Structure 1
Amino acid sequence: MNKKLLAQILIPALIVLSIGAIWIYKNTETLEPKVTESSADGKESGPVNNDFILETDEVNIETLSAYGLPIIFDFGSESCDPCRRMKPDLIAVNAAMQGKAIIKYIDVWEHTDEATGYPITLIPTQMFINADGTPYVPSYDLGIDFMMYNRKDTGEHALTMHEGMLTEEQMLLILEDMGV
């Protein structure tokens, strides 16, 4: 009778332990997410640096400028209809420009402190930075209205911004003018 009682206790305990072990084994990858980029054939090719992922929670120009690549920051929000309509173009440009330019999107309602200090009066608004860390200056008329901001104390060019939506083609045209 002791063996029967022992079996009635051990068998359910072993089943529970087995289920727990299987769950842990299957969920190990989701417990520690891996960031990977896809190669042209769609297969994973290795880890990606977070600096090249589209969405961000900070505007860190110094860190990103160290890569020596042109940068486009898009200030927007998921609650903004034009921002949502522009997002697929941002995703496409970010994917196409990996290793050639840095495209970043920041939600200004979720990260209001990161938009402070920039002349953002509406969203979406984009900021353009050359590969050398200087503000972008269009070399010719691209048919896109840019706003140029100068420092009050020195008159030096400080920022180049654009307000409103940009298409994928317009962003690629700007990046081409930036030397990509």
Structure 2
Amino acid sequence: MSDENVIKSKKGLALKIIIPVLLVCIIAGIWIVKNSKKDVASVDTDNPDFALHVTETIDLGKLKSYGLPIIIDFGADSCIPCKEMAPVLKELNAELMGKAIIRFVDVWKYQDLAQGYPIEVIPTQVFFDADGKPYNPKNPEAMQMQLYSMRDTNEHVFTAHQGGMTKEQLLSALKEMGLK
């Protein structure tokens, strides 16, 4: 074999090795970039749907589309039990960002935002499980939960708790509702 043929053979062999290796690296790079963006989008702290304080109409359908348990607390900044719950809600909202949706509506400032919800006293918490359905607690009486149904169809539409709740009580409900 001549020197030229040996050189051509080595170049061909090098190309046969380098091209597949480059393709694998490119595919791996694309996969890493796509998956890292996916994780960032699912826990977007700038997303207003995950903000604690609600000042505009709640799009319950959109919140349910995230597939996360939801707690909406209806209270007021100047109500004593609401003030006691405020740090707990703030803490849970921050700790569970992307794992659960924790919202607070000040019904004295934004009365219209409470319309359509079973609010008789404040604070009142409304619960939806990760499937977007009203939370169905294993033992509603022990958790002091009220289940609201439509009169004509008996369809369960809301699960609510009246009064303050501790962090432990809220976490217990969230775990039952599908918190991961």
Checking the alignment, whether the CA contact within 8 Å between 2:140 and 2:146 is kept in structure 1 is: no
One-letter amino acid of the counterpart of residue 52, structure 1 = F
Where does 1:95-134 land on structure 2 (aligned, <5 Å)? Answer: 95-134=94-133
Equivalent-residue separation in structure 1 for 2:153 and 2:45 (angstroms): 43
- SS of 1:88's equivalent? helix
Query: Is 1:172 the equivalent of 2:171?
Result: yes
Equivalent-residue separation in structure 2 for 1:140 and 1:134 (angstroms): 17
TM-score (norm 2): 0.71
Equivalent-residue separation in structure 2 for 1:47 and 1:94 (angstroms): 10
Gaps of 5+ in 1: 1-44
Aligned counterpart for 1:53 among listed residues 51, 54, 61: 51
Query: Is 1:70 the equivalent of 2:69?
Result: yes
- 1:48-77 deviations in Å (ceiling 9; x for gaps): 211111111232211111111110000000
Residue equivalent to 1:156: 155
Change (3 A) 1:62 1:169: same
TM-score (norm 1): 0.71
Residue equivalent to 1:6: none
How far residue 143 of structure 1 moved from its aligned partner, in angstroms, is: 3.1
Identity %: 46
Gaps of 5+ in 2: 1-42
Larger proportion of helix? 2
- 1:61-95 deviations in Å (ceiling 9; x for gaps): 11111111110000000121110111001011111
Residue equivalent to 2:143: 144
Equivalent-residue separation in structure 2 for 1:142 and 1:52 (angstroms): 30
Equivalent-residue separation in structure 2 for 1:123 and 1:138 (angstroms): 21
- 1:3-62 deviations in Å (ceiling 9; x for gaps): xxxxxxxxxxxxxxxxxxxxxxxxxxxxxxxxxxxxxxxxxx975211111111232211
Equivalent-residue separation in structure 1 for 2:128 and 2:45 (angstroms): 26
Aligned residues: CA RMSD: 1.7
Equivalent-residue separation in structure 1 for 2:176 and 2:157 (angstroms): 19
How far residue 142 of structure 1 moved from its aligned partner, in angstroms, is: 8.0
Q: Which runs of 4+ in 1 moved over 6 A?
A: none
Aligned residues: 136
One-letter amino acid of the counterpart of residue 102, structure 2 = I
